[in-house]
Structure 1
Amino acid sequence: MDIATKRSPRAVPPTYTPSLVFTHGKHYRDQTFCTISDGCYHIRSIPEMRRMRSIASCYGWLILNSYYSSNECYLFNPISLEKILLPPLMHGINMGVLTHPPSDPNCVVLLASSNTNSCIFCRIGDKKWMEHTLVFKNGKFKPVPKDVVSCKGKIYLFFFEGMAAVDVHDAFLSLKLHDVKDPKLSLPYVACSSSFRVESCGEIFKVSRIHLGVSAKIILTLEVFKLDLSKMDWVKVESLGDRVFLLGESCTSLSSTELGVKGNCIYFTFRGCTRLFKFDMDDGTITVTLPCGRKFSYWEGPFWVVPNCEPQGISFSAPPTSPDCIVFGHKRSSGKYVNVSVYHTGEDDWWEYCIVNEVPIEFLTANCNPVFYDGVFCCLGKDGKLGCFHSKEEDVYEWRVLPVPAIISWSPSMLYSVLQSSEWQFLVEYNGEILSVSVGYVGQHVRVYKLDQSKMRWVGVTSLGDKVLFLSRITSILVPAGLKEKENRIYFPRFHGKDNVFYSLSSGNYHCFGSKHSRQDWIDTSGNMESTWIQCKK
């Protein structure tokens, strides 16, 4: 398949930075995205977001529920434009959370409502929800959910009094109750306050918004507390450091450096209000802005959209110091789209492309870096196919999936299992040759292939000769061994104790320096595939 086209306004995601979103227009068909980093706003009419309200934003995904059909609910990614259907709802909900990204097999969707004493949960692909009735026998507090937070893959339900740590089993939940008292506010005689809970860097925070008297929209100050899970107590926090909190129906935490704004600040809104407030913890001031300079009719919200735009793989056409350097990155692909980003040195912004996959599903990007070869960026597919991207002009590109026979055969019905594949894959370019490596579950079944460009097919490789492979998800390189008896090896960022582990193509086993340890898998080893290899140039 060859595609040479310009960017389509529908294909381009509405925004790539955290935004405050207003839903408006007849039947809530339109959305206005207000980006706080540059003060701009963007009007869109995204079909998947029409007539839908946001329950939560987690891992770049929105949990959406229909304004008009209370049982309609699904996940939507505003970057990849992917939609994941959820079972019909059993009753109204107003809060929810994901324990992991939807691509993670451990992902659990949990929804709750402050109007009921129950919560529902499911996994991606389930046909119905499982309900858990909240009945607490100790009678210390009423089981009415007030907030839900996911932290390190665990769920925490907060009530008007107390908190419960939730463990998710196959068909039921188990809750461990904790009598967590509300923190004492510094101002005396506070008549009215509202609270928000935020997960940040693996910790749970509570933000108390203190009002003037009983006024709902006049704010005196904000105070921040961190939950000490060892003591089950709130501890006051004086500074957020580099972090920025975004408060709303769903709260999140971001790095101010990545966002391009001042750190140690808290942004918040009021439901039914178009103003945006910023509380600066350095000096205690509250700044009010109008993020969108236009009036809406029939509007709702606002809510936060926080896309997850991190590239899954990235490559360069030349050294970054070169004036002609092009940076290419691809994100985790779905069954519907291949999402890539391109940056040309000297430009202010990235070019974003959302490439529609042919049916049946033609290409799913593997979790490894692309390579630059013969003027084209090449991506490895999960089944071993090669996707090639060539940026011709500023907004014109060519995308081709080479007719390379798949290493792994699968049908569209196997899409979900392929997305969850535990197999590691790597792509390497060396002196005009392209190699791919696949590693099975816990390091078993290491296979190396070289692309026969005359026949456009992968050929199995049993020896690297006098070369050595260094593999990681971020960087993979092939280099001359330099020393005898060190060649024909594959090095991974893994260790057995303190000894580096390598795979020998000669023996078909893993070995390590400093010991006689040898086996056919990664059992009894540790490592981090997010590590990188650095090749020093003379």
Structure 2
Amino acid sequence: MGSRRIDEASLENIITESKASCNKGWLVELFYVSDSDADEPHYRCYLRNLYTSKKVKLPNLTAKFNYSKQILTAPPTEEQQPCFVLSLIENERSLLFCRLGDLTWSQWSWLPHWSEGQRSTIDDSIKINDKVYALCDRTRLFEIETQGDELGSKDCGPILPSSSLFCICGLVESCGELFAVGRKSIFDTYVYKMDFSLNRGEQVFKLSLDRCFAFLGTSLASFSAAEFGVGDNTIFFKETELGITDDYDYVSSKEKDDDPSLYAFNLADSSLSVWNTSRGTRTTLQDHSQIRKFNLSRWFQDHDQIHEEKFQEDGESSRWFQLPLDTQILVIQCLSSVYDVMNFRAVCKDWKSLVHPIEWSPNHGDEDSSPPFEYPWLMFPQGEKGMYNFFDPIANLMHSISIPELENCKVRYSHQGWLLVTRAPYSIFFFERFTKERIELPELGRYEGWFDAFCVSGTPTSTDWQICAISNSIPRSRSLLIYLMRPGREVWTWFGIDCSYHIPCPSFSNLVFDGECFCYLAKNGKFIYFKIETTDDHLHCVVKGSSSTSSFSKYWRQFLVCYQDELISVWIDQKRNSIDVFKLDSEEDEWVEVKSLDEKILYLSQTTSLAVEAAAPPEIKNTVQFSMFSDIHGNGGNISYSLKVQRFRVYKNSIQGYSSLGDLYDTKEIFLGGTWIQPLVQPHANWNI
């Protein structure tokens, strides 16, 4: 069978077919009526069979509520089970129900004993294995039971970790199992599978074999990846606008009609792919872990051999070696980087014999050691258990290594080779990859998924390091949640800051440390400084930035970088076809646009953003390096932006060089799973002359 096209319409069809299949083709249809003859606006309701077009009339449904979903407990033709029709009310703990033959709808409310006096909601419902389950308070699962002409409920336990963690969540059946999907944003998605034997949900990083999920609005469905020619273990969705109905609660509204973007979140590496549905869609999400990939387990011995693949023995080798020895020595003296040495060895067999393979050794920051390798690599999970990729954008090489210590973990930040790592539900620790040193930290006071960004002020071997963690996407709250930790403390200090008038929530940016304060950039151009007094744990919070915030509304994403106490912000346009770079005028607290980075290179990710000024190749200088790969240029390199030519580009190979990209559609971003890391290693070259 040929692959089918993936787009928004096909996802809607998948969800419709899924709803119909569990009730022998029967669906609930609502038609809004507001004509003058009606007493009040209402919905005309029918049951319709998707396969036979047979219809059954239901009582009219009042239009004074917003309804999120309708559920059938059984097909209307089923004699063994009663047919109830349930209509969930958005942001309420109530639902309306009726049976065939009823003249009106009845109301049923769910009020668990643990939430008495608190606001509760029924967020989603699903029929699976002839049972109806509902998700409540974005956390707990319960079964809706039919008891004669009435409804009852039975608590099944928590399926999601926190009622305040996700702004959008829903239930889905896949291969006879029940899953819950929670989304904090388009960048961060969690999946949990219900274990009825334990009465709780367990987080999973891999769906059933050959399965993907479609997620539109609050509706979910499972479908075959092979049938559509896409990679499995992926969740497809449209970006949803978020609004606030009152002072306490977020609600989800319809997908953005003016946004042609369709997204795919991969669970294995927490990556996000995006493409433009208005100009056609791809049918394959490529695996970019195959970019000239090598096993880093033998990296200290084999790294130089990677470059030697470029060498092919031909008649030119003897001509190069026939150069006078003093000329060859002059060439060698001009080799300014490890990459120059590797390329020198790749010229010919004779030149290869002049220098031993590059040797690498750990650099522990000792006074007697030479400077460590200065160019960052992008580190991200490969998808297999404990396997990680390290991508080198200078050499366009991908290294692979097994790190079992980081299985099912998230790398949240990197600093001078050290990684700050979290593992659900509350664990957090420092980890140094090459020495495998691990330093445990006190458990987080909240589930690790709460936090959108982390930052560390210094290495864990110093005496004055601090960690700052921020949550800017908490449903039912307009506050920033700040957690702080420093040496000698056994618990985290936390603060709630009401910045709703200055900092839009959510903003989804990275944190940086400028030498004195932690800094966070909002999507309106404002930025906030956090500084904690070591004497009394008092948090100083200052909001700065341009008073003209409307000019930043044209941007889709923002990143913050600190270079030698200078703040630089990078903004991606809503159309994804350009970026703008600004430097902070600290005297005026204004962002000033710059057209060149001079010799600097910026490395951007949601976890860690870095700036490097070094003797890099000319094509790398004055660029912005993203934690993104192209899905339409084969196994090329990461995506970068050249400020010189004002274009996105991707490195294809040594012959074709860089290829320009019109925009960032058809790309894959390594989001929370990836970070830029400066490895604590140093190269050594030994010559045979």
TM-score (norm 1): 0.48
Name the TM-score, length of structure 2 as normaliser: 0.38
More helix by share: 2
Structure with max Cα Rg = 2
